[in-house]
Amino acid sequence: MLNGWPRLAPQLLSLLRIVAALMFLQNGTVKLFGWPMPMPAGATAQLLTQVGIGGLLEFVGGTLLLVGLFTRPVAFILSGEMAIAYFQFHAPQDFWPIVNQGQPAVLYCFIWLYFSAAGAGPWSLDTFLRKR
């Protein structure tokens, strides 16, 4: 069984992209639509604020990554967004990500950085459109 496992790497790359994008775009839906849970005080982010722009990046970028369209540039932009989020909001609280609650930002930063280099994998619109 394990001998054939490496052959699944391209499909698992796509699966990681899909699952990570589904998790990520929820950050955008919470900020923009208050769904599936409301933001504090039941508000939504105003679009032309830093939180609103972050929500747009997370929702639109997460949706594009979910379907695997423009994966490399979108992933690169989102990696940068997460680096900024970490250093602006989490790092000033404490050095350690477990303490400053910055683990998701760090993980997304490096997951998206990886996808900016690796591409979307075989289950993506990028691959489908390239084959046409």
82-124: pLDDT as tens digits: 999 999 999 999 999 999 999 999 999 999 999 999 999 999 9
46-89: pLDDT as tens digits: 999 999 999 999 999 999 999 999 999 999 999 999 999 999 99
Put simply, whether the predicted model's pTM sits higher than 0.85 gets the answer: yes
Element (DSSP H or E) covering residue 105: helix 103-118
56: Cβ contacts below 8 Å, ≥ 6 apart: 28, 32, 47
Model confidence at 4, pLDDT cuts 50, 70, 90, reads confident
pLDDT at res. 9: 96
Give one DSSP letter per residue of 34-99, joined into a string.
Answer: --SSPPGGG----TTSHHHHHHHHHHHHHHHHHHTSSHHHHHHHHHHHHHHHIIIIITTT-SSHHH
- Residue 90 CB: number of other CB atoms within 10 A? 19
Domain chopping of the chain, boundaries:
9-124
